[in-house]
Amino acid sequence: MSLCAQVCVAYPDFTLDVELSVGDGELVAVLGPNGAGKSTLLAALAGLVPLQRGRIELNGTVLADRALAVCLPPEQRPIGVVFQEYLLFPHLSALDNVAFGLRCRGVARAAARMRAREWLRRVDLSDQAAARPAQLSGGQAQRVALARALAIQPALLLLDEPLAALDVRTRAATRRALRDRLAEFAGVKLIVTHDVLEALALAERLVVIEAGRIVQTGVPAEVTACPRSPWVADLVGVNLFRGRADGERIALPGGASLLVPSPGNGEVFAVIHPRAVALHRAPPEGTPRNVWRARIEGLDRDGTRVRVRTAGALSIVAEVTPAAVDALGLDRGGDVWVSVKSTEITTYPA
């Protein structure tokens, strides 16, 4: 089984235009900032919004093709959807919520309820068959929604922020249970999330969408090691710069530059981990090749570390200990010297 999709959805102030392929049994996580087009992509695949142009093919069956005027309605697509808010029917029991999709596809009531009961057993909710959604915990509601999506035996499973509605205490346990259930599903799986931990825990491949376009795709280790946009860099907690390499010097926008150990040429990305950024009250001694003066814009405490945001020739984030903050007297608005060893800078082609 496989999904091949070219999806273009146009609104007056936004256009989603992406190409996506997902293989048999593969679980792909779609990441991106709010408003990037992630949920619009899922809605287009499910048939909830029409294509401006493009084609969606699932296991050799064309679900939509704008050029051929083909557009199967949602109920005729072999797709199960778990929405962010789960959208369980409040007046129906958990059993009848799970049976709902089967009934919409013409399955007799008794047979639909029998299959729904089996799916509740698979998600460990047999004892909640008669419960209404208001009587379920967030984790239980999520499992009912998943069972409803899987009960129709879809070829494609779409999950839109499936853990977003859960509190912190429930999320980790539900993530583990979700991972186990998804491993049992042999079809194509696509999950939308803004949570990098969720994506790394669940997905085999990441697709990053920004402003309606795919900006990066790859296995989690590739994406986190070599971010290709500021949003991805923020997501994994590193400083990212883009410039033109000429030997050991990278010229950056605005006139700044970085010196790196490996000569290169052409457009490159440069990554600097915040822990590799040193802060000083006076010009540093020694041999750091990258030194500049900056002003502290903010300090963000995170457990045993403090992330110090600075602006200067280069705006960069340093990560130091609380003891270093006190010893250096770091505070918002204060001036510091910033240094980075060239050997601490990772570069790769842009």
pLDDT at residue 170, rounded to an integer: 74
**Strand, coil or helix: what is 45?**
helix
Q: At which residue do the structure tokens 């064309």 appear?
A: 62
Query: Does one domain contain both 17 and 162?
Result: yes
Instruction: State the pLDDT at residue 268.
Output: 95
* CA separation for the pair 325, 330 (Å, rounded): 5
pLDDT band at residue 193 using 50, 70 and 90 as cut-offs: confident
pTM of the model: 0.84
In this structure, the answer to whether residues 131 and 11 fall within a common structural domain is: yes
In degrees, to the nearest 5, what angle opens at C-alpha 85 toward C-alphas 15 and 37?
A: 10
Q: What is the mean pLDDT of residues 279-295?
A: 88
pLDDT for 97: 94
214 with 249, same domain?
no
If asked whether residues 225 and 344 sit together in one domain, one would say no
CA distance 186 to 227: 30
Final residue belonging to a domain, choices 234, 253, 271? 234
pLDDT, tens digit (0-9, with 9 covering 90-100), for 308-335:
999 998 999 999 999 999 999 999 999 9
Share of the chain above pLDDT 90, in %: 65
Give yes or no for residue 49 having a pLDDT over 90. yes
Q: Is there a single domain that holds both residue 146 and residue 50?
A: yes
The verdict on 146 and 254 lying in the same domain is: no
Torsion angles phi and psi, residue 309, rounded to 5? -90, 125
Residue holding tokens 């679980």?
A: 27
How do strand 188-192 and strand 156-160 relate by DSSP bridges?
parallel
pLDDT band at 173 (very low <50, low <70, confident <90, very high): confident
- Residue 190's pLDDT is 94
Mean of pLDDT over the chain: 90
Residues 246 and 300 in one domain: yes
How far, CA to CA in Å, does 27 sit from each of 147, 162, 205, 346?
17, 14, 7, 29
Q: What is the CATH number of the domain that holds 274?
A: 2.40.50.100
**Is the same domain home to 228 and 256?**
no
Q: Is the pLDDT of residue 215 over 90?
A: yes
Confidence of residue 254 (pLDDT cuts 50, 70, 90): confident
> Which CATH number belongs to the domain containing residue 229 in this structure?
3.40.50.300
| Residue partners of 161: CB distance under 8 A and separation at least 6 | 39, 84, 192, 193, 194
Picking from 219, 234, 249, the residue at the C-terminal end of a domain is: 234
**Same domain, residue pair 135 and 28:** yes
- pLDDT band (50, 70, 90) for residue 77: very high
Does 269 lie in the same domain as 215?
no
Q: What is the mean pLDDT of residues 273-282?
A: 94
Q: In the predicted model, what is the mean pLDDT of residues 120-137?
A: 90
Averaged over 14-34, what is the pLDDT? 93
Burial of 141 (0-12, 13-18, 19+ CB in 10 A): buried
Average pLDDT over residues 68-91: 89
- Find the mean pLDDT for residues 226-244: 93
Q: For residue 153, is pLDDT > 70?
A: yes
Number of domains in the chain: 2
Residues 154 and 300 in one domain: no
Residue 319 and residue 248 in contact, taking contact as beta carbons nearer than 8 Å = no
Residues 135 and 241 in one domain: no
Length of the chain: 350
- The strand order across the sheet containing 79-82 reads 79-82, 156-160, 188-192, 27-31, 205-210, 213-218
The domain of 248 spans 237-349
Q: Which of 184, 204, 234 is the C-terminal boundary of a domain?
A: 234
Q: What is the pLDDT of residue 42?
A: 94
Check residue 1 and give its pLDDT. Answer: 60
Q: Give residue 208's pLDDT band: very low, low, confident or very high (50, 70, 90).
A: very high
Q: What is the pLDDT of residues 85-105, one digit of tens each?
A: 778 899 999 999 999 988 888
